[in-house]
């Protein structure tokens, strides 16, 4: 048994899906290899919410497991149909995209699959400060942003390739003219055949922004009230409260700068910047008053920490702030 198979079987044990034979295989493997037993204990602590840091060994093994899960014909593919006799529905909690070293350290991304009405779905959710790569069943690539979640079937079997996004993601869609690719958000749908684009649909932002890098995209508001066709270099900004769609130009690829490790602000308010920094780095920013929220800043940052960015903004237009172990506070 290799390390990938071992960790997959360990995940089945933790989610109460392992058979007696699988449990016996894991026990035998740990008796033969002490490093596997150590990895099992670390994995178990993370599974049940421990804050301990995973070793590089565990990170790589879990990443390889996720790659194998996505590979066609994998012997240990957890998305294969299972017997429904024992439970009303079956589900696994598989640690995928393993440990991502982003921002302040290592954070775990979890994937859930559920069998509902005969269709199994994968649900992937990133915490604040975490970004992850996802390969969809058709080969479409998605870079899922911090504080975002993505839900999709384990196989696209209908006439449409439909997924659901909460938050932000950049997609490189595998071209299939017979099966449109649709991204559902709480406040509108994006439809494409094969292209690359960015969708930002955080519920708390009050708007959905769709920006096109290549190809052609259509954005449809809830209830199919309005449909906007977008070409490269264009974006649609849907303001939910006003039920209004604005067509704008994409400025210097700012909409997907985050996929390249950059943070871009274009006359953004400090209130909006605080939210963006919280998502990107994971440390929340609090305001003791609304006095400074309206301050606006423009700038591009790459390879800078959250504190460094605030220091540079502060030099442009000052505001008092302090940094603690758990948060950043904008003083009065």
Query: Which of the four pLDDT bands, split at 50, 70 and 90, describes residue 4?
Result: low
Distance CA(230)–CA(214), nearest Å, equals 10
Query: Which stretch of 38-47, 263-272, 298-307 has the lowest confidence by average pLDDT?
Result: 38-47
200 contacts 180 by C-beta, under 8 angstroms: no
| pLDDT at res. 294 | 93
Distance CA(92)–CA(113), nearest Å, equals 6
Closest CA to 170 of 143, 188, 201: 143
pLDDT (tens digit, 9 = 90+) per residue, 272-290?
999 999 999 999 999 998 9
CATH of domain 126-258: 2.60.120.1440
Domain 261-330 fold is: Phage tail protein beta-alpha-beta fold (3.55.50)
Closest CA to 230 of 241, 222, 238: 238
Distance CA(25)–CA(133), nearest Å, equals 31
Distance CA(100)–CA(280), nearest Å, equals 13
Domain boundaries, the chain: 1-116, 126-258, 261-330
pLDDT (tens digit, 9 = 90+) per residue, 91-133?
333 433 333 323 322 333 344 455 445 678 888 888 888 888 8
Helix (H, G, I), strand (E, B) or coil at 189: strand
| pLDDT of 181 above 90 | yes
141: which 2 tokens?
């690539």
CA angle 299, 302, 306 (to 5 degrees): 80
| pLDDT of 54 above 80 | no
Closest CA to 169 of 128, 210, 220, 113: 210
Q: Which residue has the higher pLDDT, 198 or 78?
A: 198
Domains 126-258 and 261-330 share a fold: no
| pLDDT at res. 3 | 65
Closest CA to 192 of 213, 223, 167: 213
**What's the chain's length in residues?**
332
Query: Which of the four pLDDT bands, split at 50, 70 and 90, describes residue 61?
Result: very low
pTM over 0.75: no
Helix (H, G, I), strand (E, B) or coil at 307: helix
């Amino acid at each position: 048994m290799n390390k990938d198979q071992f960790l997959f079987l360990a995940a089945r044990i933790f989610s109460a899906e392992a058979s007696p034979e699988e449990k016996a295989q894991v026990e035998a493997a740990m008796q033969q290899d002490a490093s596997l037993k150590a990895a099992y204990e670390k994995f178990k602590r993370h599974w049940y919410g421990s804050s301990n840091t995973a070793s590089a060994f565990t990170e790589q093994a879990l990443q390889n497991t996720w790659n194998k899960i996505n590979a066609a014909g994998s012997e240990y593919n957890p998305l294969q149909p299972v017997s429904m006799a024992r439970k009303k529905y079956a589900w696994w909690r598989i640690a995928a995209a393993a440990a991502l070293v982003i921002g302040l350290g290592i954070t775990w991304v979890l994937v859930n699959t559920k069998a509902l009405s005969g269709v199994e779905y994968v649900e992937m959710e990133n915490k604040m400060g975490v970004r992850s790569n996802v390969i969809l069943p058709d080969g479409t690539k998605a870079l899922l942003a911090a504080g975002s979640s993505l839900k999709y079937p384990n196989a696209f079997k209908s006439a449409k390739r439909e997924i659901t996004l909460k938050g932000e993601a950049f997609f490189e869609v595998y071209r299939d003219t017979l099966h449109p690719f649709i991204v559902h958000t709480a406040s509108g749908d994006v439809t494409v055949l094969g292209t690359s684009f960015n969708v930002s649909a955080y519920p708390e932002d009050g708007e959905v922004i769709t920006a096109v890098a290549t190809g052609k995209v259509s954005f449809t508001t809830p209830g199919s009230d309005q449909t906007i066709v977008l070409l490269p270099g264009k974006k649609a900004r849907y303001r939910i409260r006003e039920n209004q769609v604005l067509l704008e130009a994409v400025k210097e690829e700012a909409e997907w700068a985050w996929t390249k490790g950059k943070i871009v602000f274009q006359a953004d308010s400090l209130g909006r910047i605080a939210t963006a920094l919280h998502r990107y780095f994971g440390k929340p920013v609090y305001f003791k008053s609304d006095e400074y929220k309206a301050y606006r800043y423009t700038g591009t940052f790459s390879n800078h920490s959250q504190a460094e960015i605030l220091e540079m903004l502060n030099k442009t237009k000052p505001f008092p702030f302090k940094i603690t172990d758990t948060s950043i506070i904008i003083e009065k």
